[in-house]
Amino acid sequence: MHITIRLQFAKHVVSFSDIATAIGQAGGDIVGIDVISSSKTHTVRDITVSVLDSKHADVVVDTLRKTAGVKVIHVSDRTFLMHIGGKIEVKSKIPIKTRDDLARVYTPGVARVCTAIAEDPTKAYSLTIKRNTVAVISDGTAVLGLGDIGPYAAMPVMEGKAMLFKQLAGVDAFPICLDTKDTDEIVQIVKAIAPAFGGINLEDIAAPRCFEIEERLKQELDIPVFHDDQHGTAVVLLAGLLNALKIVDKKIEEIKVVLTGIGAAGIACTKMLLAAGVKNIIGVDRQGAIHRGVQYDNPYWNEYAQLTNPENISGSLSDVIVGADVFIGVSAPGILKVEDVKNMAKDPIVFAMANPVPEIDPELAEPYVRVMATGRSDYPNQINNVLCFPGIFRGALDCRAIEINEEMKLAAAQAIASVVTDEELSETYIIPSVFNNKVAERVREAVMKAAYKTGVARKDDMMFR
């Protein structure tokens, strides 16, 4: 990583070459220098230094703090710099240059437009932003794998999701973090803000509350409501698995899958895999394998036990992973050991998808796996819901779908998988890159086709009839 250190140094006490030497001795590598101000006695400079990690950054900064004549003003890393002031803004489509423009975009002209919508509310789709907007709603209770860090801390992720919606699919998404964990209140708030939006993307709301929130909103709203951590993740996981199974030449009906983290993502991934034909899937949470014969406090786990684990095996992750063809992690960092991978069946497939730190370090797993994937951007095979949510909402908005149903999700998974051709497919390329511009377009088309086929599209479109 790179950090930028703003420091002031007294010219008569220390020279820049002394500072460069100190940084070098602490193991830092200077990659940029900017002079911010200079007087006869002092200079202020921004020095950008390449360091190994945040601990190493502390060592470099401490060294400078201890150097006589040097005052460290502040330290920022490039990631923080990208977040300063937030990452998105609202822009007008048309400038207001004259009084005439003003009278048309605002009062009095706007009143006629308002009246037209009041007379026919469906006109909200043609005369407001509704046809292109998605609310990204979080309560900050399951932010990535960081847990319940609250609504303020959740904002950078939601802003990031909004950026991806826009860049990858042209959707205008609004990050909305709610300072409440009350299910009824969240449902009420989302219902109340729905008029401005064409869709609702629920994000990083912890299980099991997220299931009720989504179900109730789906029933009460006539726009698509989609919990990204459940369905977006499940769609991309299935896409990756379909392609990985081609490499190891195994049939989906015959594989044994072990999945850790029976929360939002885990339950949805399991349901998607069962629908796709997986017969033997065992879910593992903190207490071990979910099995029948136990009354869990979490009602979703009791249902889960009925749907999975055909041999009703109990035990720890290390116990149940023996002989598994596929490991899927949507749980916590570092819980899969190298020994566990060694005990899997031939040609193991390991999808360690916890963010930001996966269930096993890919470098440790690599020698023993046939196909390795993570949720991260800095390793090959990124299985991340970002491959799904922009395109699936683009399709749903464009056909004005009332919901995103199972057929649309399956179509999205197949569309994502299809971007990687048989000639291109390899152990390190089972899933297209986030930057592959075919992904969102292919997902959009497949999703629209499925929406028209299943009768949930409201917009008349001859192409899809």
The active-site residue, picked from 11, 91, 125, 161, is: 161
Please give the Cα distance from 434 to 377 (Å, whole number). Answer: 9
Q: Does 375 bind ligand CC(=O)C(=O)O (CB under 6 A)?
A: yes
Tokens of 289: 């394998």
Residue 204 known to bind ligand: yes
Helix axes 150-169, 438-453, angle to 10 degrees: 90
CA distances from 400 to 263, 422, 447 (A): 30, 34, 11
Kindly tell me which of 159 and 229 has the beta carbon lying closer to ligand CC(=O)C(=O)O.
Answer: 229
Which 193-232 residues touch ligand CC(=O)C(=O)O, going by CB under 6 A? Answer: 204, 228-229
Stretch binding Mg ion (CB under 5 A), from 177-185, 222-230, 238-246, 298-306: 222-230
Residue with tokens 């109990």: 314
Cβ atoms of 133 and 169 within 8 Å: the answer is no
Residue 243 known to bind ligand: no
Tokens of 155: 């904002």
Neighbours of 112 (CB within 10 A): 9
Cβ atoms of 197 and 162 within 8 Å: the answer is no
Residue 335 binds: one of Mg ion, ligand NAI, ligand CC(=O)C(=O)O, none (C-beta under 5 to 8 A by kind) = ligand NAI
Among 141, 374, 385, 414, indicate the residue that binds ligand CC(=O)C(=O)O (CB under 6 A): 385
Binding characters for ligand NAI, 307-336, by CB under 6 A (x = yes): -----------------------xxx--x-
Kindly tell me which of 9 and 165 has the beta carbon lying closer to Mg ion.
Answer: 165
Please give the Cα distance from 214 to 202 (Å, whole number). Answer: 8
Say whether 130 is catalytic: no
Task: For residue 30, give the 3-state DSSP assignment.
Answer: strand
Residue 62 known to bind ligand: no
Residue 215 known to bind ligand: no
Please give the Cα distance from 14 to 20 (Å, whole number). Answer: 11
Which 208-267 residues touch ligand NAI, going by CB under 6 A? Answer: 229, 233, 260-266
Residue with tokens 């709603």: 137
Please give the Cα distance from 44 to 46 (Å, whole number). Answer: 7
Kindly tell me which of 89 and 378 has the beta carbon lying closer to ligand NAI.
Answer: 378
Kindly tell me which of 159 and 204 has the beta carbon lying closer to Mg ion.
Answer: 204
Which 267-296 residues touch ligand CC(=O)C(=O)O, going by CB under 6 A? Answer: none
Q: Catalytic residues, which ones? A: 106, 161
Interface residues toward ligand NAI, by CB under 6 A = 142, 144-145, 206-207, 229, 233, 260-266, 284-286, 330-332, 335, 353-355, 375, 383-385
